[in-house]
Structure 1
Amino acid sequence: MSEEAGNDVVVDPVAGDAAGIVVRGVTRRFGSAEALRGIDLSAPYGQITALVGPNGAGKTTLLLILATLLTPTSGEVRVAGLDPATDPDGVRARMGWMPDALGVYEQLTPREYLTFFAEAYRIDPAAVAGRVTGLLARVHLAEHADQPVHVLSRGQKQRLGLARAMVHEPRVLLLDEPAAGLDPRSRAELRDLLRELAASGVAVLVSSHILSELEELADRVVFVAEGRTVEEDEIAGVARFVVSGWRVRALDDAALTAALTARGVAPLATSAAGSDLPPMSETDAAALLAALVGDDVPVVAFGPIGGQLEAAYLALNKERR
C-alpha cells in the first residue's frame, strides 16, 4: 500500500485504484421494476464499510453486481480498479464473496472443501495445504477439519463460507449477513477477524441487519433506501442525524430521580436496566450527564438506547416516509 503525495488517498499497488469499491449512479432494472435507482458508494482499502437499509432497498442487488453475478443497467462500478461487467475474471481474482445463503458441498470435509476452491483459484499447489490449514485455524474450525460438512452447525458453516471467501487472499471482501447463525462468541471472533483483515489493507463491505454489531465493527456506513443512497459517512459522524432516547443507571435510584426532577427531566420508563430518558441530542445528553455527576449522583451507565447507528437509521427512514 502507498499514499498519493499531498493527500490521504490509499492506492492499491497492483490495481492502482484509490478505493476497493467505487459505485457511481448505478441503476438496475428487472423489466419494469427498478431495484436500483442511482446508488453511490465507496469502500476504501483498509476500512470496513457497512451497507445499511431496509428490506427491498437494493442491498443484495448491489452486492450481486459487485460480485459479477449481475450487470448494472447504467452507471459506473469498479472493484479493485476493474469493471465487473467487462472483466469479471479479473474482479473474481481480487474479490472474495460470501452471500447470505451459502451452499456447501455437504459430503466433503472442510479441509477438502477449501482445498477444492484453492485449486479452482489456481493457487500454487505447494502452498494449498498450508493455506487451508491456516484458514481453518483462523475461523476456528481446525478441530472439525476432517469431519463431513453436513455435521457442522449453521454457524460453523457460516465460518467455513468466510474461509472460502478468503482462500485466494482477496483485496476486496463482500459479506452479506456474515453474522447470521453465529453465537455471541463467534460474532466477537468474526469482528476481530474482519478488523484484522482491514488492518492488513483489505477493503471490506458488510451488509447486515444487526446494527449493534455493525456499529462496533465498521469505520464507515452507507445508508440506502428505495434503490438510492441516502447518506454516506464515517461511523463517528452519524451522531449528527441522531436525537435519540438515552438510558441512565445509578447506584442510588433516589438520588438519580431527585436530580432528574430538579432539571425537569421525567423518565419515560424505569427498569433494572436503568431509567429511559426522552430523546435529546448528544450535546444535551453530555450536559445532563455532567450535571448528574456534579450533583454527586453515582452514575454507572449512560448511553443512547439501541445505539447511534440504529437511531440514525430509524431517523433517516422516518424522514423519507
Structure 2
Amino acid sequence: MTAGATAGAATVSAAGPSELGIVVDRVARRFGAVQAVVDASMVAPMGQVTGLIGPNGSGKTTLMLMLASLLAPDQGSIRVAGHDPVADPASARRLLGWMPDQLGSWGSLSARTTLVQTGRLYGMHRLAAAHRAAELIHLVDLGELADRPSRVLSRGQKQRLSLARALVHDPAVLLLDEPASGLDPAARVALRRTVRRLAGEGRAVLVSSHVLAELDEMADSAVYLDRGVTADAARIAATRVSERAWRIRSADRHRLRDALFRAGVPWERIDADAGGLLVPIAGEDAAAALLTRLVGEGLAISAFAPAVGELEHTFLDLSGERMAAAPPAGAGGPGAPADPSPYAPPAPGAHPAPPQPGGPQ
C-alpha cells in the first residue's frame, strides 16, 4: 500500500460526516436461501483510496451494488457522502460515480457521444457536457478513438470509457469494480496515477479488485470481506506480525545462506527463487534486526523486502487461517461451528440475526 497506509476493516470514529465518503454499519443482504452479506461494516474517508478485498463469492459485488443504491440492505445502514442511498437515492447518486466490472454501453454510439449523453442525463447543459466529455477523453487517453463506435473498443479501452463515464458529473465518491481488468501494463500505471490524483482532489475512492499487487500501489487502506463478513481490526493487526516470506539478495548466495543459518534460520526454512533467498520473518522489527546482523557480518545485501505486498500477505494469512480452522470432511455435527472463517460474525445474540427472505429488494 502507499506510504503510511493501513490495512483493516475501518470503524466509524470521531470523524465527521464530511470526512467520511462511505459509512457501512452492520449491513446484511440475503437472496432467498443465500446470505450474500452477513455483517459488513467499513468506512472510506474522503481524500483516500480504500481497497475492498476478498475471495470469489465473498459478497464484494453485493456490497458494491448496495453502495451504488442498486440494492437495498435487509438490515444495517449505509451513508454515501452523508446521504442514505435507500431513503434518498437521488441525492446519493448525484454525489456518486459508479464504474461496474462490465461496461454497459450503446455499441453504435461513440465514446464522446456516450459521455455527452451521460452528462445530459445528469442535467448538464449540452455545451457543458461536451466540454466535460473532452476533458475526460483526454484524462483516460481515448483521443484517437473518441469518435468511433464503442463496439470497436477493446476490453481495456471500454474500462477507460467506463471510468470516464463515472466521472462525468464530478462525483465526491467513486466506486470502482475491477478497474484494472483488461488493461495493459502501461494503462495500469496510468490508472494508478489517475486514481491517486482523484483521491488527492478530495474524493473518497473505493476499489474492489483481485489484482492485489496493483491495489497495493494505490490504496491507503483496505477492507477484507469473506463469507459476507468484514474482518475486524484486531485480526488485521495480528497479520502484521505473522510470518511472511522476505526475499534477500546478495552476490554471494552461499555465504548469505550460511549467515542466515548462523542467525538462527533453519536450513529447511531457507528457500530460493530467481530473485534471491526466501526467508520467513515475523514482523518488520525482526526483519530490521536480521538485516542489521547480515550487514554487520560484511555481506553486501542488494535486496531485502517482503516477497509479496502487504495486501496479498494479509489476504493469504487470513485465508490460510480460515482453511486451518475448517473441520475435516465429515467432522462437525451437532454443536460444531457453522462458519469457521476468521471473519466469523459474533456469537448468536450479539446482534440481530439477518432477516428471513422477503425483506426489501
Aligned to 2:78: 77
Which whole-Å deviations, capped at 9, do the CAs of 1:28-51 have from their partners, x for residues lacking one?
Answer: 111222111111010110001111
SS of structure 2 residue aligned to 1:217: coil
Label 1:212 to 1:73 Cα distance change in 2 as closer, same or farther (>3 A). same
- Superposed CA deviations along residues 23-80 of structure 1, whole A, max 9, x for unmatched, are 1011111122211111101011000111111111111001000111100001111111
Equivalent residue number for residue 254 of structure 2: 254
Separation in structure 1 between the aligned mates of residue 116 and residue 209 of structure 2, nearest angstrom: 28
Name the SS of the counterpart of 2:231 in structure 1: strand
Matched, 1:20 2:21: yes
Q: Do residues 298 (structure 1) and 300 (structure 2) align?
A: yes
The 3 A distance-change label for structure 1 pair 28 and 116 is same
Q: CA RMSD in A?
A: 2.0
Name the SS of the counterpart of 2:232 in structure 1: strand
**Offset of 1:315 from its aligned partner?**
1.4
Unaligned runs of 5+ in 2: 1-12, 326-361
Please tell me whether the aligned partners of residues 41 and 232 of structure 1 are also in contact (alpha carbons under 8 angstroms). no
- Compute the TM-score of the two structures, normalised by the length of structure 1: 0.90
Aligned positions of 1:237-248 closer than 5 A = 240=240, 242-248=242-248
Partners of 2:241 and 2:282 within 8 A in 1 = no
State how far apart, in whole Å, the 1-side matches of 2:290 and 2:261 are. 12
Q: Which residue of 1 aligns with 2:357?
A: none
| CA distances 1:212-247 after superposition (whole Å, capped 9, x unpaired) | 1111111111111111111359x9x68625421111
Structural mapping, 1:199-238, within 5 Å: 199-232=200-233
> Paired residue for 2:288?
286
Question: Structure 2 CA distance, aligned partners of 1:67 and 1:160?
Answer: 18
Moved more, 261-270 or 284-293: 261-270
Q: Secondary structure at the match of 1:69?
A: coil
Shift in alpha-carbon separation, 1:73–1:106, aligned structure 2, 3 A: same
* Partner Cα distance (1:268, 1:259) in 2: 11
* RCO comparison, higher one (Cα < 8 Å, 6+): 2
Q: Greater share of strand residues, 1 or 2?
A: 1
In the aligned structure 1, how far is the partner of 2:173 from the partner of 2:135? Answer: 19
| TM-score computed with the length of structure 2 as normaliser | 0.81
| Alignment partners' CA distance in 1, 2:102 and 2:200 | 27
Secondary structure at the counterpart of residue 57 of structure 1: coil
Q: Give SS of 1:46's match.
A: coil
Deviating more after overlay: 157-166 vs 249-258: 249-258
Runs of 4 or more off by more than 6 Å in structure 1?
Answer: none
- What is the aligned partner in structure 1 of residue 124 from structure 2? 123
Task: Name the structure 2 match of 1:154.
Answer: 155
CA contact (8 A) 2:241 2:284 kept: no
- The one-letter amino acid of 1:43's match is A
Identity of aligned residues (%): 48
Alpha-carbon contact 2:44-2:50 (below 8 Å) kept: yes
User: Which residue of structure 2 aligns with residue 307 of structure 1?
Assistant: 309
Aligned to 1:276: 278
SS at match of 2:18: coil
Residue type matched to 1:189 in 2?
Answer: A
Matches within 5 A, 1:166-185: 166-185=167-186
Structure 1 stretch displaced more, 178-187 or 290-299: 290-299
The one-letter amino acid of 2:177's match is D
Aligned residues: 308
Residues 182-216 of structure 1 deviation map (CA, whole Å, 9 limit, x = unaligned): 11111111110011011111000011111111111
Tell me the residue number matched to 2:139. Answer: 138
> Which secondary structure state, in structure 2, belongs to the residue aligned with residue 81 of structure 1?
coil
AA partner of residue 258 (structure 1):
D
Gaps of at least 5 residues in structure 1 are 1-7
Give the distance between the partners of 2:242 and 2:51, measured in 1 at CA. 18
In structure 2, give the amino acid aligned to 1:110. A
Secondary structure (helix, strand or coil) at the match of 2:56 reads: coil
User: How far off its partner does 1:261 sit?
Assistant: 2.8
Aligned counterpart, 1:317: 319
AA in 2 matched with 1:278? P
Deviation at 1:124, TM superposition (A): 2.7
